[in-house]
Structure 1
Amino acid sequence: MLRYFAANCFAVFIGISIFTSISSASEMVEASWYGRNYHGRPTASGEIFDAKAFTAAHPSLPLGAVVEVRRVDDGRAVRVKVNDRCGRCGIDLSRAAALQVGLLRDGRALVRIEVPRNLAWAD
């Protein structure tokens, strides 16, 4: 009986880990940050940019999407709301988000963007 219970618990654990691994998509890009010159200006979403908020600019993710940005080199992560667009960059983080992942000093870093699977990529 104990073996049966342990096997079922293991199956449930595996099922949960499989579900969470397929419930999100990821993209590896270079991250940079922006702040002072844009603080107080309108963003593509219509919100006023606040360098102290955890927001980001991305070329194609839906505006309003909340994503996790994780540095590849040291694993530091931050959750940000996409509220602006950027041109040729991978993702531009607000000053507050950049500070959270240690990007202020480095300027740029390779990151993985974790996107919930239910979000459609904007064209």
Structure 2
Amino acid sequence: MNKFNIVALLLLSFLVTGCSTSTSRYKIKDDHSPSDIPPLENVEDANPRYEPYSRGGNKNYRVRGIDYKVFSDITEFTETGNASWYGNKFHGHLTSNGERYNMFAMSAAHKNLPLPSYIQVTNLENNKQIIVRVNDRGPFHSGRIVDLSYAAAKKLDMLKAGTARVKIKLLHFKNKKQQDEHFTGIYYIQYLVTSLPEKANQLGKKLSATYQVKSLQVQDNNHYKLRLGPFTNQLQADNLLKKIQLDYPNAFIIEQK
């Protein structure tokens, strides 16, 4: 048997050893939260980009007598259902595509999406939103559509409950050129509209200094639209928007054509 076939067989053997399968290879019987948790406040969302699919974990498979089909040539996909999370039991073990599971990274497991894939996950119970990289198979519990890493679940504020009602959306790029075209442009974050010029000036200076971003006021009759920018990358604008929305929940992104 040549070296390639040996590697292929090893990867195949790991295909169904993801987040919700047999306990034989795990030292921990029941999954639980980690006892030593690093600071997670600055953990960034996964950066969606074009990636060739992995050589492992992308064939149809069977778990517990149920056959699962892996999607191929998929460019659009949305799904609504329950999310769960997996943690300490699986930390450091191989995922279905042969990578090591890191519960403090922004990753996820899905039964059907190609590996790797990038998905946007929205917690429908609190409207919090994240982007994760799918590199594993699962969850294999009925009524659940995605298993999130510990860090991802924390950002969606679902650790305590254990599950949450979510909507997932595939973020797909067929090649590097499409990826670059999608994320390149001119973007602004509009966070407030006020009729008070003094307030507009004070807030503009404060947020500009806090986030090291230029501040802009767009006057519309007697109102001032307060914006931060410009950004030439949508991901950069998206990441800052999440921070701005902690104080200004109605903040949104404006793309300049």
TM-score (norm 2): 0.36
Provide the residue aligned with 1:20 in structure 2. none
- How far is the alpha carbon of 1:43 from its aligned partner? 0.3
- How far is the alpha carbon of 1:25 from its aligned partner? 3.4
Which amino acid counterpart does residue 56 of structure 1 have in structure 2?
A: A
Q: Find the partner of 1:33 among 81, 85, 95.
A: 85
Provide the residue aligned with 1:49 in structure 2. 101
Provide the residue aligned with 1:107 in structure 2. 162
Provide the residue aligned with 2:148 in structure 1. 93
Moved more, 76-85 or 109-118: 109-118
Q: What are the superposed Cα offsets for residues 41-69 of structure 1, whole Å, 9 maximum, x if unpaired?
A: 00001000000000001100111101011
Count residues in correspondence: 97
Secondary structure of the residue aligned to 1:29 is strand
CA-atom RMSD, angstroms?
Answer: 1.7
Instruction: Please tell me whether Structure 1 or Structure 2 has the larger radius of gyration of its CA atoms.
Output: 2
The question of 1:71 aligning with 2:162 is answered: no
Give the whole-Å Cα distance in 2 for the aligned partners of 1:40 and 1:80. Answer: 18
- How far is the alpha carbon of 1:116 from its aligned partner? 3.1
Provide the residue aligned with 1:60 in structure 2. 112
Q: Find the partner of 1:116 among 171, 195, 202.
A: 171
Query: Which consecutive residues of structure 2, in runs of 5 or more, have no partner in the other structure?
Result: 1-74, 175-257
**Taking CA–CA contacts closer than 8 Å with sequence separation of 6 or more, which of the two structures ends up with the larger relative contact order?**
1
Secondary structure of the residue aligned to 1:90 is strand
Give the whole-Å Cα distance in 1 for the aligned partners of 2:88 and 2:129. Answer: 22
Give the whole-Å Cα distance in 1 for the aligned partners of 2:92 and 2:77. Answer: 32
Provide the residue aligned with 1:16 in structure 2. none
Give the whole-Å Cα distance in 1 for the aligned partners of 2:76 and 2:96. Answer: 25
The 8 Å contact of residues 39 and 50 in structure 1, kept in 2 or not, is answered as yes
Change beyond 3 A, Cα 1:96–1:49: same
Q: What are the superposed Cα offsets for residues 39-98 of structure 1, whole Å, 9 maximum, x if unpaired?
A: 000000100000000000110011110101101121101110000001233100000000
Give the share of equivalent positions with the same residue, in percent. 36
Secondary structure of the residue aligned to 1:96 is helix
The 8 Å contact of residues 25 and 117 in structure 1, kept in 2 or not, is answered as no
Provide the residue aligned with 1:84 in structure 2. 136
Give the whole-Å Cα distance in 2 for the aligned partners of 1:52 and 1:101. Answer: 14
